[in-house]
A and B are shown apart, each in its own frame.
Chain A
Amino acid sequence: MKTLVLGLGNPIVSDDSVGLRVAAELRTRLAGNVGIEVDEDYWGGLKLMERMIGYDRAVVIDAIQTGAPPGTIHQLRPDDLPTQRSASAHDANLPTALALGRQAGMHLPPDEAVVLVGIEAADILNFGEELTPEVEAAVPRAVALVLQILAAPLSAREAPGPDNPPPGES
C-alpha cells in the first residue's frame, strides 16, 4: 500500500506553516518506512487531488480555523468539510476534485482512506516565520496523531501484521 503524508502550508504566513512543520518532523520519524512518502505542498483542490494520484491512502496536515482554541487538533474526512457543494475562487473543492479524478480513471485513495489533520491556527493573516505559542505546542501532538493514524488499519484486509508493520516499527 502506498501512503502519502502531505503537509500543506505557507512558510511565511505565521501559523499557516504548521502543516509544513509537522511534515518536516514526520519526514525524520518516518524515514526508512517503505511505502510511506512524506512531502510538503501548498495547494488544495485540483492540485491536491493530482498530488494524490497513485496512492492508496493520504494524510493531509494543514492549518484550519474553526473557532476552537488555537492548537486544537481536528481529524476530518473530506466529507466533513463544510462546503461540499461549492466551487472556490480559483479551484474545485477537495471532494469535487477527488470525484473528478476518479471519473477520469485516476488511481486515487478512496474517501475513507483520506484523512485531514487540521491544526487550529491563531494567526493566518500576518507575515511571519514563527508559529504562535499554542500552535507551536500542538506540533508534537499532531505528529503523534499522524503516526497513530498511519498505524491504524485502513481495513481488516490491510491490518498491520508481520508483513505490514505499523510505521516507526520497521
Chain B
Amino acid sequence: MSTATAKKRISIDPITRLEGHGKIDIFLNEEGDVANAYLQIPELRGFEQFCVGRPAEDMPNLTNRICGVCPEAHHMAATKALDAVWHVDPPPAAKKLRELFYSIFFATDHTTHFYALGGPDFVVGPEAPPAERNILGVVAKVGLEIGGKVINMRRNGHHLIKMIGGRPVHPNWGLPGGVSRGINEEQRQEIEKLGREAIEFARFSLGIFEDVVLKNSDYVDLITGDTYTHQTYNIGTVDENNHANFYDGKVRVTGPDGKEHAKYDAKDYREYITERVEPWSYLKFPYLKKIGWKGFVDGIDSGVYKATPLSRLNAADGMATPLAQTEYDRFYDTLGGKPVHHTLATHWARLIELLFATERWVQLATDPEITSKEYRVIPTQTPTEGVGCVEAPRGILTHHYKTDERGILTAVNLIVGTTNNNAPICMSVKKAAQGLIRKGEVREGLLNMVEMAFRAYDPCFGCATHSLPGQMPLEVNLRDPRGEVVQTLSQYVG
C-alpha cells in the first residue's frame, strides 16, 4: 500500500487496462469523519447502440462477450429473452438441458470465487498481507492437495460447458425455442460422473469453511459484527415451492423483516424495479419502485435491495436439493434465523449455492428426459418484445429486447448482476470506512477492510476485459467537504 497526502495524487500503475476500476471516493465532513463513500466503476460504452439494427438472434452470442466473468449467464438470459421475443415455449428437455448447463457453470464460477477471492480473506485471514491473501495462501494453509482439487473442479466444469455449449467460454448453443443440440448417453454418463465428484468437492469446501471460519470465534464475530451488516431488501428467483432456482421461476423480493414484499414474472420487472442516476457515477442504482429511493440507507423504508447468494437464500423458503437444504437450515440456525443481513455471510451462502448447483447438476444429468431429441421448437410467430432473466452468480440478470417484425433489434436494456448491488456496495464501503477513519486520521487496514466489504458481493465490473495483468487495483480518494482530494491510498501497485 502506498499513501499520499495534501492533494498529491498517486496514480495506479498505468500498465493495467483496468486503470480506474475499483476507484473509491470517500467524502469527509468538516470534522474529518466519513460523510459518504462511493465505489466508482467505469463501464463499457455503447452496447445498446452496438446492438440496435442487428438480428435479435445474434444476442446470445453477442452478449456473452459483454462480460469476461459470466458469459454463460448472458448467453442464457439472452436465449430466454429470445424465447419471449418469438413467443415460443421450449420443450421440457431443452429447459432441462439449459438448466444442466447453467448448474455446471454456476458450480464452476462459485468455486473460483471462493478459492481465489473471497476465501482467502478468511482462510488466510483478514489481517494477512495482500501478498498472501490469494489462492496460494489457501493452499499453504489447507494443504497442497487443495490446489489440484480446485484446478480439477474448474477443468471438469469447463470441459462440460464446452461439451454441451459448443465452446469453452462463449457458448453458441442457445436458440429461441430451445438449444442447437442435445447430449447422448455417453455424454450423459460423463456429466453424471463428474457431477457426483463435484458434489463431494462442494461438501469438502463447506468442510473447510466449517473448520477454518466457523470454528474461529474471531471470524464469526467479524461476520456478525455491525461493520458488515445492512438491513436491506433481498431479491432472488424461486421455483413453484419458493425454493431458490438459478435458471427460471418467479422473482421474489423479501423485506428486511423477512416478509414477502413482491413476487413477479421477470417480464414485469419494470413495475417493481427502477433505476436512479447519480451524476458522479457511470452506473445506475436500481431500487424497489414501490418503496422508493431514500438515499444510500438501509431499513424497511428504503428501496435499496441486494441481489447476492445471501439474498437468494433470504428470498427463498429453502433449497430444492437435500444436502443444500440441510446446509441452509444450519446456516440460519447458526446465524440466528432468517433473514441474515451480514454481508460477509455471503461467502457461506455462496458455498451452499455451490452445493445446490452440483446436486441439481446430478439431478438433471439423471433425468430420463435429458437425452431426448426433442430439444427445440421452431418459432412461428412474429417477433416483438421479450424479457429474459436468470440468476447470475453475482445477482439477478435481466435482458430486455424489442424488435421490428423482421426480428431486427430496435431497443436493448440490460440490468446486470453487479448493478443491482451498486447501492449496497457503496453503503458497505461507507460503513467499513467509518470504522477506520476518525477526525481525518486513517487507521491501518482501511484498504483491506474496504476490499472485504465489496468483495463479498463478487462484483463484476461491467467489463469485457479479461485483463492481461489480471488484477484489480484499488484506489481510495479521501475528499474534504468541498470535494478536494486530501489523501489517496492505493493498493496492488507493484
- Cα–Cα distance between A142 and B14 once the two chains are bound (Å): 21
Q: In this assembly, does B468 line the interface, its C-beta being within 8 Å of a C-beta of chain A?
A: yes
Q: In this assembly, does B148 line the interface, its C-beta being within 8 Å of a C-beta of chain A?
A: yes
Q: In this assembly, does A124 line the interface, its C-beta being within 8 Å of a C-beta of chain B?
A: yes
**Restricting to B425-461, which residues have a CB under 8 Å from any CB of A?**
458-461
Shortest CB distance B86–A (Å):
23
Q: Decide: A64 and B17 in contact? CB cutoff 8 A.
A: yes
Shortest CB distance B282–A (Å):
10
Q: In this assembly, does B469 line the interface, its C-beta being within 8 Å of a C-beta of chain A?
A: yes
Partner pick for B16 among A46, A65, A104, CB 8 A cutoff: A65
Shortest CB distance A149–B (Å):
16
Q: In this assembly, does B367 line the interface, its C-beta being within 8 Å of a C-beta of chain A?
A: no
Given known A-B contacts A88-B472, A89-B459, A91-B116, A8 and B15 have beta carbons under 8 A apart:
no
Shortest CB distance A67–B (Å):
4
Q: Decide: B154 and A46 in contact? CB cutoff 8 A.
A: yes
Stretch at the interface among A77-85, A151-159, A161-169: A77-85
The 5 residue pairs across chains A and B that have the minimum distance between CB atoms: A86-B492, A127-B50, A44-B470, A85-B131, A86-B471
Q: Which residues of A have CB within 8 Å of B112?
A: 46, 90-91
Partner pick for A10 among B65, B135, B461, B473, CB 8 A cutoff: B65
Q: Mark B131-154, 1 if CB is under 8 A from A, else 0.
A: 101111001000010011011001
Partner pick for B116 among A46, A48, A60, A64, CB 8 A cutoff: A46
- What count of chain B residues pass the 8 Å CB interface test? 62
Shortest CB distance A36–B (Å):
20
Q: Decide: A50 and B471 in contact? CB cutoff 8 A.
A: no
CB within 8 Å of A: which residues of B?
13-17, 19, 21-22, 42-47, 49-50, 62, 65, 68-69, 71, 112-113, 116-117, 120, 129-131, 133-136, 139, 144, 147-148, 150-151, 154-155, 158, 169-170, 458-461, 464-473, 491-494
Q: Which residues of A have CB within 8 Å of B45?
A: 125-127
Q: In this assembly, does A101 line the interface, its C-beta being within 8 Å of a C-beta of chain B?
A: yes
Q: Which residue of A lies closest to B116 (CB)?
A: A92
Q: Decide: B460 and A82 in contact? CB cutoff 8 A.
A: no
**Restricting to A62-101, which residues have a CB under 8 Å from any CB of B?**
62-67, 81-94, 96-97, 99-101
Q: Which residues of A have CB within 8 Å of B113?
A: 90
Q: Decide: A44 and B468 in contact? CB cutoff 8 A.
A: yes
Q: Which residues of A have CB within 8 Å of B44?
A: 13, 125-127
Q: In this assembly, does A103 line the interface, its C-beta being within 8 Å of a C-beta of chain B?
A: yes
Partner pick for B130 among A85, A91, A121, CB 8 A cutoff: A85
Q: Decide: A50 and B154 in contact? CB cutoff 8 A.
A: yes
